[in-house]
Amino acid sequence: MVAPNMSQTIHRKDSEVGPTMRQQGLAGMFYATTSFSIMFMNKIVLTSYHFPSFLFLALCQFVATIFCLEAGKTTNLITYPDFDMKHFWKVFPLPFIFMLNTLTGLGGTQKISIPMFTVLRRFSIVFTMILEGWLLGNVSSRNVKFCVFLMVFGALVAAVDDLSFDMAGYTFIMINNLATAANGVVIKKKLESKELGTFGLMYYNTLFSFPLLLFIFVYQGEWGSVVEFADWGNFYFLFYFVGASVMGFVLNFSIFHCTKVNSALTTTVIGCLKNVLSTYIGMVALPDYVFTIANFAGVNVSIFGSLLYSYVKFKEQQTAKAGPALLPMTRDNSRD
């Protein structure tokens, strides 16, 4: 009779452990691939085709997200709570943070080269570490802090010798870093409550963000430039524009999912890690990167810090999972 009880106890404990390393890895890869794709689509739309309004692109991404979630619920592919204004307070203040994160990210993408954009985004890791420690009680190890120092140091070296410096672009990115950190940590806290679920949080977050974003778009008076844009009849532009709009939904889902099964900090750093590839592609494939030795060296130091961080976090997760796995059986054996 002992063996069945022990098996049941171990099974129950395993079910409470949470996501496996494989699930965490797949969630990270999904987010990295999605983020990589939408970054280049946004860049092509806003820079290569000189689309005049990143606000309108953001609106289209929000509409696509709401439509996809509504369609999924109508066809019973997904579920989330029916509309109720009380849900606003369940997601607050996430809609405002989310909107700020989206707008500053697109604004930075429009004005800064992808290599510099990706390097400056390293600062979001610092802000995430601070917020996770303050709000969630998560304290990073010395090794993690050293890796983050390398990333930020490389970013500073690259920024000092950036010949394509754009003050507005840098401002967008630094605000985006703060918004990304806040967005990740608040998502983690909201998902832990399990009131709305992943899809419900996505839906109401986007729905309640939309009116404010629409107001800003109308206030800025950009509708005329959008209507007069010359490439609406260009098939290739439409392909990238529609792709960027739909991928906005996929990216949002991947962020929520990765944050749920990993952590806000891990999601933030995965976003920086995928930039290793996008940085070098951006240097070669897009015309707005200006090469200097100091800038290139800083970019590579920052990338090395990102790679080192991924190794350190992987080892820490292995150690953390190996320790608790032995505890349930040890306690059961001692009790028997």
The verdict on residue 334 lying in a domain is no
Whether 301 shows a pLDDT value over 70: the answer reads: yes
* Look-up of token digits 């509504």: 70
Mean pLDDT of the chain: 82
Task: Dig out the tokens for 121 from the structure.
Answer: 């985004």
Q: Which two tokens stand for residue 119?
A: 């390097």
- 322 vs 12, 96, 179, 315, CA distance in Å? 17, 40, 34, 11
pLDDT at 246 (0 to 100): 92
* Least confident span in 41-55, 151-165, 231-245: 151-165
Which pLDDT value is given to residue 52? 93
Specify the range with the lowest mean pLDDT, choosing from 4-8, 60-64, 94-98: 4-8
Per-residue pLDDT at 230 exceeds 80? yes
Task: Supply the pTM of this predicted model.
Answer: 0.72
Question: Which residue pairs from 206-212 have beta carbons closer than 8 angstroms and sit at least 24 positions apart in sequence?
Answer: 206/62, 206/65, 206/66, 206/69, 206/95, 206/98, 206/252, 207/66, 208/88, 208/91, 208/95, 209/62, 209/95, 209/96, 209/98, 209/99, 209/102, 210/59, 210/62, 210/63, 210/66, 212/95, 212/96, 212/99
User: Could you give the CA distance from residue 113 to residue 99 in angstroms, rounded to a whole number?
Assistant: 22
- Is 255 inside any structural domain? yes
Question: What residue numbers bound the domain in which 201 lies?
Answer: 21-318
What are φ and ψ of residue 83, in 5° steps?
-60, 135
Q: Provide the number of structural domains found in the chain.
A: 1
Residue 221 lies in a domain: yes
Q: Which of 61-75, 79-93, 315-329 has the lowest mean pLDDT?
A: 315-329
Residue 108 pLDDT: 87
CA distances from 305 to 115, 119, 146, 159, 302 (A): 15, 11, 8, 16, 5
The per-residue pLDDT for range 266-278, each reduced to its tens digit, is 776 777 677 777 7
Residue 233 has pLDDT above 50, yes or no: yes
What pLDDT, on a 0 to 100 scale, did the predictor assign at position 6? 44
Q: Does a structural domain hold residue 3?
A: no
pLDDT for the residue numbered 33: 87
Q: Mean of the pLDDT values across residues 87-110?
A: 89
Q: What whole-number distance in Å separates Cα of residue 329 and Cα of residue 333?
A: 6
At 121-136, the pLDDT tens digits run 878 888 888 887 787 7
Start-to-end Cα distance in the chain: 11
Q: Quick one: pLDDT at residue 97? A: 92
Q: Is residue 278 within 8 Å of residue 54, measured between CB atoms?
A: no
